[in-house]
Amino acid sequence: MKAPSKSPRAQKRKSASEPSRSGKVTATTLSVVENTSDQSEEAISQTADPVQPAKSHRSGKVVDNTVSQDVEEITAKPLDSNTPRLANGFKIVQNRAYQRIQKIRPKKLTAPVNDEMGYKKLFTKFEEAFLAQDIKALGECLSPAFQWRLPNGDVVYGQKEALEEMERRFAMPNGPKFSKSIWRFEGTTVLQSYEVEYLGADGRWRPSKGFDLYEIGDGLITLKDAYWKMIP
């Protein structure tokens, strides 16, 4: 009696794990065995036409247009020129009518002396002339009716007298030294705060805080009222 033959699957499993003569297990290529048992065939009937016309969003049907269609070849039309165009195709044309070229000569800008900018320019010139001890430039900033009220209570009247007093002070070898000047403008009134050092009667330099009040009239300085605060 013959032993029952093993199934193809069992033969495949065995051949995959079968050791070689050298005792090592080697990987083998599996073979496909054809199934020889009887196969039954079943015919599947077609239930619907696989090709159906596309449905439109409307309830109506889509019908093919049987009328022959003309084919028209569309070619790009070259532009007449490089003139820029708008999105709607209109050209942009420069308007040259009533055009002329006019040369404008540069003109120096000057601020009037009756506004804050003019006042600032006036006192800039005054301060520069005072620090440079320029008597002529100082005279151009002072009114003929100028008054100078000194910290000790004395008053100098007139432009000429004030310039002579300034020139006398500039000639002093140990005159007062001014620094850290700050200007504030309010209409025709100008306030100046500063630091000053002066030589005392004992021969020692002493620091002090200074404050001057100015008034402007007709674009010139009409008043200089000076106040010093002694610091021990």
User: pLDDT tens track of the chain, all 232 residues?
Assistant: 445 554 544 444 444 445 555 555 555 567 777 777 777 788 877 666 666 655 555 667 888 888 888 888 887 766 666 666 677 777 777 777 777 788 888 877 676 667 888 899 999 999 999 889 999 999 999 999 999 998 888 899 999 999 999 999 888 888 778 888 899 999 899 999 988 887 877 888 888 888 999 999 989 999 999 887 665 4
CB-based contact 191:213 (threshold 8 Å): yes
The structure tokens listed for 110 are 């000057």
- Per domain, the residue ranges of the chain are 116-230
pTM (predicted TM-score): 0.50
pLDDT value of residue 157 = 94
CATH number of 116-230: 3.10.450.50
Q: What is the predicted pLDDT for the residue at 137?
A: 94
Q: Residue 59: what pLDDT?
A: 64
Is the Cα torsion angle 111, 114, 116, 121 positive or negative in sign? positive
Residue 84: per-residue pLDDT: 65
